[in-house]
């Protein structure tokens, strides 16, 4: 991937998701302003706090702005015209789409949320509240800090080991003093355990820390405190 250049002013998309006419999605970069490229779709965000609660929107919404104060790290909706926005600068944005029941979801997964099993929980809630069948779901995993760069503490290894049978597959102990975590792989495992088909899980596979020209990275530039936006919406 190292030599691929991207357009300077374009949302990054996952082709398999972009093919679906029912939805609009995008993964933002540091080069584009965090505004939805469709004036019929309104952006909403929440106060992300590294937990695993899900905001469920199952009715038309007048005031989306109020939700920016509410503490959630994931959102699901069956309402068209609402872009579920996730802000990240190393954590992973994960977008979900059910073409059968016409439901979308978005979640924010750093190591804490991943440790709480957020991806698996959101898939479960799409089933509980909207009747989504995991076997039909599509998932897009966006840019985040990669296994190349994401050094974590031993406490993270301990947390994952106590919860996940696949924990040893998502840590690398080579090449650095501290363990490195593969967040994208951990979330892929959670989606598979939730019942998604492997061929319906798509990875952008771009590291926010390595790709300074494309992304903000909290680890690389702590003083910047800037984030890129990712979103998914039903049209």
What's the closest the beta carbon of residue 116 comes to Zn ion, in angstroms? 24
Nearer to Zn ion, 30 or 42 (CB): 30
Exactly one of 93, 142, 144, 146 binds Zn ion (CB under 5 A); which one? 146
- Strands 228-234 and 82-88: what pairing? antiparallel
Among 56, 57, 152, 210, binds Zn ion (CB under 5 A): 210
Q: Which is nearer to Zn ion, 119 or 214 (CB)?
A: 214
The interface region with Zn ion, picked from 3-11, 117-125, 173-181, 208-216 by CB under 5 A, is 208-216
Stretch that binds Zn ion, among 60-68, 83-91, 199-207, 224-232 (CB under 5 A): 199-207
The half-sphere exposure of 6 on its side-chain side, counting CA atoms within 13 A, is 21
Kindly state the smallest distance separating residue 221's Cβ from Zn ion, in Å.
14
Q: How many CB atoms lie within 10 A of CB 94?
A: 31
Nearer CB in complex with Zn ion: 151/193: 151
Whole-angstrom CA distances from 124 to 37, 65, 79, 131 are: 30, 26, 19, 9
Alpha carbon distances (Å) from 225 to 26, 51, 75, 142: 21, 20, 23, 19
Q: In 3-state terms, what secondary structure has residue 101?
A: coil
| 149 binding Zn ion? (CB under 5 A) | yes
By CB under 5 A, name the binding residues for Zn ion.
146, 148-149, 207, 209-210
């Amino acid at each position: 991937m190292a030599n691929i250049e991207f357009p300077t002013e374009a949302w990054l998309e996952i082709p398999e998701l972009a093919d679906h006419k029912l939805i609009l999605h995008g993964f933002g970069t540091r080069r584009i302003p965090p505004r939805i490229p469709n004036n019929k779709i309104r952006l909403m965000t929440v106060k992300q706090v590294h937990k695993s609660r899900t905001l469920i929107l199952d009715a038309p919404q007048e005031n989306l702005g109020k939700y920016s104060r509410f503490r959630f790290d994931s959102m699901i909706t069956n309402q068209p015209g609402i872009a579920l926005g996730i802000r990240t600068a190393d954590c992973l944005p994960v977008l979900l789409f059910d073409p059968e029941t016409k439901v979308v979801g978005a979640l924010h997964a750093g190591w804490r949320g991943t440790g709480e099993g957020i991806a698996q929980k959101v898939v479960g809630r799409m089933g509980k509240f909207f009747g989504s069948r995991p076997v039909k779901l599509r998932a897009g995993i966006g840019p985040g800090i990669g296994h190349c760069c994401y050094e974590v503490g031993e406490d993270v290894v301990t947390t994952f080991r106590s919860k996940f049978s696949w924990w040893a597959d998502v840590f690398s102990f080579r090449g650095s003093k501290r363990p490195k975590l593969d967040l994208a792989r951990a979330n892929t495992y959670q989606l598979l355990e939730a019942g998604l088909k492997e061929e319906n899980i798509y990875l952008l596979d771009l590291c926010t820390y390595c790709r300074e020209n494309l992304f903000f990275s909290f680890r690389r530039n702590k003083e910047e405190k800037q984030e890129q936006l990712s979103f998914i919406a039903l049209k």
